[in-house]
Chains A and B, each alone.
Chain A
Amino acid sequence: MSARSYRLVKIGAEIAVPVAILVAWQLWTAHAQSPRFPRLSTILTTFQDMWLFSQFGTHVVPSLERVGLGFAIAAVAGVAIGIPLGLSRVSRAAAMPHIEYWRAMPPPALLPISIVLVHSIGNEQKIAFIAFFCLFPVLLNTIDGVRGIDPTLIDTARSYGVPRHERIRRLVLPGAMPQIMAGMRTSLSLAVITMVLAEYFSSTSGVGYVLLISKNTYQLGPMWAAIVLIGVLGYLLNVLFILAERRLLAWHRGWRAATS
């Protein structure tokens, strides 16, 4: 098979499988006539009515805001804490048990305490909740990335008298960046999960809240539309992240290809 026809087949398969699933869903639901499983066409019509764009501002925007802020705080804090921990064995020994403990904590287990401590129905509690759980993948990957930097590189910079803060900026941070980005990607999907969770339990807005209300009022069309939207949001955020990563780490792909 030529490279070109291989690509066509590959793209065809990527599109064909989801289309086939959706068609099957439509045919099955049309036949089953179950209120719990609305037809695809019904879901899509509801989706369009709700999210394009009458409730977009009231529910989607707040959700995205929380995901964005929570993720951003986690990314910055994870790198800022991870770099010193990656550089110092002693501080690592002091911090690792705590990190391992909290990162093993399932998010729902902390939801009650988060509502009690940051008792707001507003954004602070949800952003703090998202940021807390998104912190760990970035933090652990930053520590690993920093530890993996070639000592020859650090020695070279030291021999040139490059001051410590410059070494961190010019060597440590870019050297650890491939792993930091891998951690951020994990965190981003975690941000969507924790966003839905937080909104489902204590909120007056957001897609997680819509999910809760439509479930409680047995509006299964809107409920399915919310589920579809959450999936689409997660998918699009990941695509955006991959595009950003490709630009930022272009050197890494070339370097890997050249050295492997």
Chain B
Amino acid sequence: MAPRLAGRDLVSAQPLLQIDGLGKTYGSGDKAVQAVGDVSFAIDDGEFMCVVGPSGCGKTTLLKCIGGLLRPTRGEVLLRGRRVTEPPEEMALVFQEYSRSLMPWASVRNNVLLPLRHKKLSRAERNRLVEDSLAAVGLTRVLDRYPWQLSGGMQQRVAIARALAYQPAILLMDEPFASVDAQTRADLEDLVLRVRDEYGITILFVTHDIDESVYLSDRVVVLTHAPTEVKEVLPVDLPSPRDQIATKELPDFASLRAHVYRLIKREQADAPPVEVAVDGGTLSA
């Protein structure tokens, strides 16, 4: 499969995605709940950016606003300078709950076909995209199975394949590996790094796992507690390709991880007690 360039050849100072003073408040008056306070950051083309924050800080709301699924109350999201008001074609979203984002009545093939049916493509092109993207996530023999016949890790790979088949420039992932076991999780992390190189895709990855955020990304955005704001944007200068053992043995990895951990611990301590219903244990869960 030829790698997709995702606009890397476009010489431009403009970031691929820019989030500008974004805020989201649910409801109004006395019952108003401010989920996202004021968030600004930018992602460059080809970048792998992780967003971490204390549990319940509004990460999912933020991601839905960025993806055009929710209308922000304040601020805006710009994709290549154009304001996002509905889900843009260059964006794909992978949710945490693979079992809820895949259609149980459709085969793996038809699940991956879902975002392609309304695109102007020939049948052969469609089939090629489906087969290539499933091959890229290491699934070749399950096209005619139902998702619920597969393991959790395989189901999440189907969801990732579906996002890849859509050929987005940027992939938004909302805690995608939060509901799989540790070993599968490590495998999926490496898989995402590999397809990112293969497809030349930009990734915005939301997680509550600090190790994961440092291991995967080029930059980590640390969020404050709700109503969330950007606490710090942290460059991760770890050598590529990343390796589950070697990378995590590096002193730099340990100090970055400790730094992010401290920021988030402090956020949790500062958070108003009502809005944070977690203990320190869930941070690295």
Contact = CB atoms under 8 A, between A and B. Distances in A.
Contacts of A259: 99, 148
B184 interface: no
B168 to A, nearest CB: 9
A258 B101 CA distance: 16
Nearest to B88: A161
A177 B105 contact: yes
A251 B95 CA distance: 23
B114 A157 contact: yes
Contacts of A252: 104-105
A159 B91 contact: yes
A160 B114 contact: yes
B101 A152 contact: yes
B67 interface: yes
A166 interface: yes
Given A150-B100, A254-B148, A166 B87 contact: no
A4 to B, nearest CB: 27
Contact of B114 (A170, A175, A251, A258): A170
Contact of A161 (B64, B89, B99): B89
Contacts of A163: 118
A11 to B, nearest CB: 30
B68 A153 contact: no
A251 B87 contact: no
Given A162-B118, A166-B117, A175-B105, A254 B95 contact: no
A152 B67 CA distance: 13
A5 interface: no
B106 to A, nearest CB: 8
B163 to A, nearest CB: 8
A148 to B, nearest CB: 12
B166 A160 contact: yes
Contact of A174 (B87, B89, B93, B103): B103
Contacts of B69: 155, 158-159
A169 B160 CA distance: 23
B100 A152 contact: yes
B41 interface: no
A171 interface: yes
Contacts of B117: 162, 166, 170
A162 B95 CA distance: 16
B146 interface: yes
Contacts of B114: 157, 160, 162, 170
Contacts of A161: 87, 89, 115, 118
Nearest to B89: A161
Contacts of B149: 254, 258
A101 interface: no
Interface in A140-168: 150, 152-153, 155-163, 166
B92 interface: yes
Contacts of B146: 251, 254-255
A158 B87 contact: yes
Contacts of B100: 150, 152-153
20 contacts: A150-B100, A152-B101, A153-B103, A155-B64, A156-B93, A156-B101, A157-B114, A157-B115, A159-B69, A160-B87, A160-B92, A160-B115, A160-B166, A161-B87, A161-B118, A162-B114, A162-B115, A174-B105, A254-B149, A258-B148
Interface of B: 64, 67-69, 87, 89, 91-93, 95, 97, 99-101, 103-106, 114-115, 117-118, 146, 148-149, 166
